[in-house]
Structure 1
Amino acid sequence: MVPPPAAVARRSLSLDHEMFLDFLVLVLSCLPCIADRGSFASVCTLWRRAAGLSDAPPPAQLPWAIFPSATAASTVFSILSASTRRIYLPTELVGARLCGSHPGAWVAATGHVPSGGNVAINLLSREMVPLPNKKLAPLSRRRAIQLLEGEGPEPLIRQRAEKDVAVRAIAFSDAPNSPDCVAAAITEGVYQPSVAMCWLGAQPQHWAVPWTIPAGVQDVVYFEVGGNLKPSFYLITNWDALFVASFVDDTQILVHKCRVQWPTDDMPTLPANVYTSRYLVVSRGHLLMVRRYYSYSKSDGTHQTMLFRVFELQNQTLDLSWLELDSLGSRALFLARCSSRAFELPANSEIKPGSIFFLDDITFGESVAATKNDNQYNRNDMGVYYKDEPGLTWPHLCSNLFGAKNFVAFLKHEGKMEIMLFDNLQELETYVGNKPIEVEIKGCIRRFNWEQATKCPTPIWFAH
């Protein structure tokens, strides 16, 4: 019996409907960013049904960069989707200076929140954890040097006098609302910032046991070595000295200076206008130290990042040494003071393995001054660095958000070395000419296309 025409039409429509659903599910699998998947599901009922039919979980997410503004509406940049979006920050973060973050949607703000204090807030749940606004009086510089340069760990006993604290950057051991969370903060001081710690789970009223590192701390990271149950923070100074700080109880902290052997350096001397900044990152159970090389102009105070090198701490119990890594494998690094993270790249990501994303936080002490003096923050030295040949191109998705690619070259001539950026090989050949110069290409760098300066605080990475 031949079915009536109406039944044939309904069956054809049903088949087309199912085929379209299968097509939508296939499209969804090509969207690695959870924000894109959320937008996909909000189109209509049919698309939302397709999102529910997908069995494949979203790939591991990479952090977003938050660009705060003077209003609740702020801009975030997603690395996976290479696009910007709007996000509405909690009232406590409007106009605040973000000084740290922790996986699970936690960010820390200081100095300019409405209450005038410090706070950690979860951007998804809106849960808020107050951070201390006061710190105990620091040890004398002479006493601190004696403790930090000793052979073994020495206790630092907290003192009673209190004063206000301006946090420059903060690192957490766990989520700030965890009873086991310990925080370490780099506090005010442009040339010799001090370090303070507190046990947030104990609901402290102040930062305990601040002390001054003689050489100046550049970064802090939480890291547990060899099953050590004591909360330990690693600190790196501007002279590559490595320290470990651990809580004994709520009144004492042990500080130990590590003896770390350096490998033979192929950059024994830097050009006069090139300087180094350092970051600590925990990745695959190891501690990484990243050196960031940048040029600095004393005439106008501007700086420009040129090169990154990554070192891994070896033999983490005895005979410590740094080993330079030739490759990061499938990882990408996201650098920020006290909040650097390493991520394994998803299989369908267009991000080049070994990429190092960086923010404009070389002179991160200026962010405190800008909050007080209402100056402008710089945003002209943010981008991504990766080892690559000059002929290769960055994925097309990022072409509108990143500037032109430069490649980094080492130039050695008559015992002197230069680190320079070039737009293309022709520019390098013109510069070298017929001079007997040794040329080695180290990598490529591209910068974000953002405004160079703004009165809004500098951005920070936000990990889901």
Structure 2
Amino acid sequence: MVPPPAAAARRSLSLDHEMFLDFLVLVLSCLPCVADRESFASVCTLWRRAAGLSDAPPLPGQLPWAIFPSATAVSTVFSILSASSRRIYLPTELVGARFCGSHPGAWVAATGAGHAPGGGNVAVNILSREMVPLPNKKLVPLSRRRRAIELLEGEGPEPWISQRAMKDVVVRAIAFSDAPNSPDCVAAAITQGVYQPSVALCWLGAETQHWAVPWWIPPGVQDLVFLEGGGSMRPSFYLITSWDFLFVASFVDDEQIMVHNCKVQWPADDMLPTLPANVYTSRYLVVSRGRLLMVRRYYSYSQRDGTHQTMLFRVFELQNQTLESWLELGSLDSRALVLARCSSRAFELPAANSEIKPGSIFFLDDITFGDSVAATNDKQYNPNDMSVYYKDEPGFTWPHLCSNLFGVKNIVAFLKHEGKMEIMLFENLQELETYVGDKPIEVEIKGCIRRFNWQQASKCPTPIWFAH
């Protein structure tokens, strides 16, 4: 029996419908970013159904976004996975503020937030809009001698605390042991010092909040990170200094902080002495696979115009639970790093995602991060050193980094001539070959760098990574 024409037409439409759904699922598999998936699902009912199918490809592990600040509520975020930028409406508290930290789960810390209570330091959840005020005062400790005298005189803790001075604190960068709205969260901050950066800790769940500082601060603190089980029953933060010394800071009780040296055996920097005098280093700490990584960032500095340019990265891993020594890693395997003061993260790249080069290091222009804390309405920021670095052959093509947010690829080359070492950037191999010419120069290619295309001078501070 031949089916009626209307029934045959419905069956044909049903087949076409299912075939189109299969096609949409195929398209969905090419969208690794959660923002792209949400945009896909918002097109229409059919596309939303495709996104919700049980056989739809699961989302790979997400990489963070970079939030570019704005003087208004409308800001810009950049997704590494999709290499695309999107508009985002920031909470009122973050308008015009300087980002100084982040935490997984959509938390961003800011200072100078004009609409935030308590002096402008605040942690805000970008997605839920939940706000956690951060203190703007630090409790200056008495000297050890004065504290010992008070204890001998039998004074209790309350008179001792009441005599301690409360002073304003200027936050450079903040790390969190947990989500800021957790009652067990401890915040650790690198603060502005007169001669050097200082360190302060705060129990965010305490009834009275303030930053507590230790009696003694190691000089030249450049970064800090929270590490679970860092040798103390209380939350512990590791600090790294400009002299490559590693320290641990943690609460002794609700008011006192202890900082002790880990006494890690550190090999001398065998590379820096061979480089030109205008090349310097900066350091970051990252937790990856339960271990502590230290990243050295090599950059050149121009005395003429005050600009700097990152050239190279080296990654070291802390060996053994006894904190005995560091070992340089020749490869990050399937990992990518995103670097920011107190907010660096390591991410495992899914095997199915071949667009992000394993071993890539994304970094911000925060080498001189302390210079921007005293910003005024006329302050000009010059974020000219935000890039991605990766070790690979110069001919490697990264499809996602062809967006207009990235500039041309630069080859990092070491040039050795008559016992002198030089580090330079070249746009391609032809430019490198032309520069070398017939001169007896030894050439070693160390990697590639692609820089963000970003406004060179702006009243908006540099961005921060947003781990959603």
TM-score of the pair, normalised by structure 2: 0.91
Deviation by residue 1:40-78 (Cα, 9 ceiling, x = unmatched): 011011111111114443221110000010100000000
Q: Is the 8 A contact 1:32 1:348 kept in 2?
A: no
Please list, as runs of the form range in 1=range in 2, the aligned pairs for 1:39-58 lying within 5 A after superposition: 39-55=39-55, 56-58=57-59
2:447 corresponds to which of 443, 451, 461: 443
Residue identity in the other structure for 2:413: A
Q: Distance in 2 between matches of 1:204 and 1:326?
A: 47
Deviation by residue 1:276-335 (Cα, 9 ceiling, x = unmatched): 1100000001100001111111111111111111010112315x2111100000000000
Q: Distance in 2 between matches of 1:452 and 1:170?
A: 26
Assess, with a 3 A threshold, how the Cα gap between structure 1 residues 142 and 354 changes in structure 2: closer, same or farther.
Answer: farther
Please list, as runs of the form range in 1=range in 2, the aligned pairs for 1:105-144 lying within 5 A after superposition: 105-115=106-116, 116-137=119-140
Partner of 2:228, secondary structure, is coil
Partner of 2:376, secondary structure, is helix
Deviation by residue 1:201-246 (Cα, 9 ceiling, x = unmatched): 1143310125563531110100134774321100011111111011
Q: Is the 8 A contact 2:201 2:211 kept in 1?
A: yes
What corresponds to 2:97 in structure 1?
A: 96
Count of residues in correspondence between the two structures: 449
Once the two structures are TM-superposed, the CA of residue 5 in structure 1 deviates from its matched residue by: 1.6
Once the two structures are TM-superposed, the CA of residue 358 in structure 1 deviates from its matched residue by: 0.3
Q: Distance in 2 between matches of 1:181 and 1:235?
A: 18
Assess, with a 3 A threshold, how the Cα gap between structure 1 residues 226 and 293 changes in structure 2: closer, same or farther.
Answer: closer
What corresponds to 1:147 in structure 2?
A: none
Q: Is the 8 A contact 1:386 1:443 kept in 2?
A: yes
Partner of 2:213, secondary structure, is strand
The answer to whether residue 354 in structure 2 is matched with residue 357 in structure 1 is no
Percent identity over the alignment is 86
Unaligned runs of 5+ in 2: 147-159
Once the two structures are TM-superposed, the CA of residue 173 in structure 1 deviates from its matched residue by: 0.4
What corresponds to 2:313 in structure 1?
A: 308
Q: Distance in 1 between matches of 2:340 and 2:306?
A: 21
Q: Is the 8 A contact 2:83 2:400 kept in 1?
A: no
Please list, as runs of the form range in 1=range in 2, the aligned pairs for 1:397-408 lying within 5 A after superposition: 398-408=402-412
Q: Distance in 2 between matches of 1:368 and 1:47?
A: 46
What corresponds to 1:18 in structure 2?
A: 18
Partner of 2:28, secondary structure, is helix
The answer to whether residue 245 in structure 2 is matched with residue 241 in structure 1 is yes
Residue identity in the other structure for 1:30: C
Q: Is the 8 A contact 1:195 1:212 kept in 2?
A: no
Please list, as runs of the form range in 1=range in 2, the aligned pairs for 1:144-223 lying within 5 A after superposition: 160-189=164-193, 191-210=195-214, 213-223=217-227
What corresponds to 2:260 in structure 1?
A: 256
Once the two structures are TM-superposed, the CA of residue 22 in structure 1 deviates from its matched residue by: 1.6
What corresponds to 1:151 in structure 2?
A: none
The answer to whether residue 346 in structure 2 is matched with residue 346 in structure 1 is no
What corresponds to 1:81 in structure 2?
A: 82
Once the two structures are TM-superposed, the CA of residue 396 in structure 1 deviates from its matched residue by: 4.7
Residue identity in the other structure for 1:361: D
Partner of 1:49, secondary structure, is helix
Q: Is the 8 A contact 2:377 2:459 kept in 1?
A: no
What corresponds to 2:397 in structure 1?
A: 393
Q: Distance in 2 between matches of 1:401 and 1:190?
A: 37
Q: Distance in 2 between matches of 1:431 and 1:440?
A: 14
What corresponds to 2:9 in structure 1?
A: 9
Deviation by residue 1:6-37 (Cα, 9 ceiling, x = unmatched): 21111111111111112112211221111001
Residue identity in the other structure for 1:172: F
Q: Is the 8 A contact 1:120 1:176 kept in 2?
A: yes
Q: Is the 8 A contact 1:198 1:204 kept in 2?
A: no
Residue identity in the other structure for 2:224: V
Once the two structures are TM-superposed, the CA of residue 434 in structure 1 deviates from its matched residue by: 3.0
Unaligned runs of 5+ in 1: 144-156
What corresponds to 2:38 in structure 1?
A: 38
Partner of 2:85, secondary structure, is strand
CA RMSD of the aligned region, Å? 2.1
Which has the higher mean CA deviation after the structures are superposed, 299-308 or 346-355? 346-355
Deviation by residue 1:236-272 (Cα, 9 ceiling, x = unmatched): 1111111101112212222111212233644150311
Q: Is the 8 A contact 1:192 1:213 kept in 2?
A: no
Partner of 1:189, secondary structure, is coil
Q: Is the 8 A contact 2:286 2:344 kept in 1?
A: yes
Once the two structures are TM-superposed, the CA of residue 139 in structure 1 deviates from its matched residue by: 6.5
Q: Is the 8 A contact 1:190 1:365 kept in 2?
A: no
What corresponds to 2:150 in structure 1?
A: none
Q: Is the 8 A contact 1:96 1:113 kept in 2?
A: yes
Residue identity in the other structure for 1:86: R
Once the two structures are TM-superposed, the CA of residue 462 in structure 1 deviates from its matched residue by: 0.2
Q: Is the 8 A contact 2:184 2:203 kept in 1?
A: yes
Assess, with a 3 A threshold, how the Cα gap between structure 1 residues 211 and 26 changes in structure 2: closer, same or farther.
Answer: farther
Which has the higher mean CA deviation after the structures are superposed, 113-122 or 94-103? 113-122
